[in-house]
Structure 1
Amino acid sequence: METGKIKKTCKHGHIFYKSSDCPTCPTCEKLKKPASGFLALLSNPARNALLHHGIDTVQKLSKLTEKEVLKIHGIGKASLPAFRKSLEEQGLTFKQND
């Protein structure tokens, strides 16, 4: 057993160790990662943040300004290049400030 970490088992039976109360199973997170599309380019926190806000397509992402996206907890400036690239590939951009 790893020092300072608690052995946990997720609802799917995966065993993992965590040093915090975080219930997130690393194996389940890897299995949830999409194989393609713009969400596959993102880290788990960024992807989960967008999904939590109902943003699962670049079309939905294009309805937000960059400032609005950066206000979402779990999204940082490091995600912006991947977002811009995905939008550009679809002929889209972030919503412009009014």
Structure 2
Amino acid sequence: MALRLLYLIFLRLVGLLVLLGRSSASKDAELLVLRHEVAVLRSKNPRPRLDWADRAVIAALVRLLPTGLRLHRLVTPGTILRWHRRLVAQSGPNDS
């Protein structure tokens, strides 16, 4: 499972390097396409199932967004806190 998290982090870092070389117009176009795709996916499956590695990556990336944008995402600060509480409850007091 840790290997999956490392793989996802590596993919995001490579994606960041690719973004640095692109123009603002192409980034804006990609954002519009991705927002439309997310809207379509939400209409077909309003409650996607994420595993722990997906949650870790999303939680890390959502912190980079300005506060105003965080509140309108699929993953809100309340969602992150709920994930954390669930993870702590599953690990139990004796797990280290």
TM-score normalised by length of structure 1 = 0.29
Structure with larger Rg: 1
**Looking at both structures, which has the greater relative contact order when contacts are Cα pairs under 8 Å and sequence separation is at least 6?**
2
* Structure having the larger proportion of residues in strand: 1
* Structure having the larger proportion of residues in helix: 2
TM-score normalised by length of structure 2 = 0.29
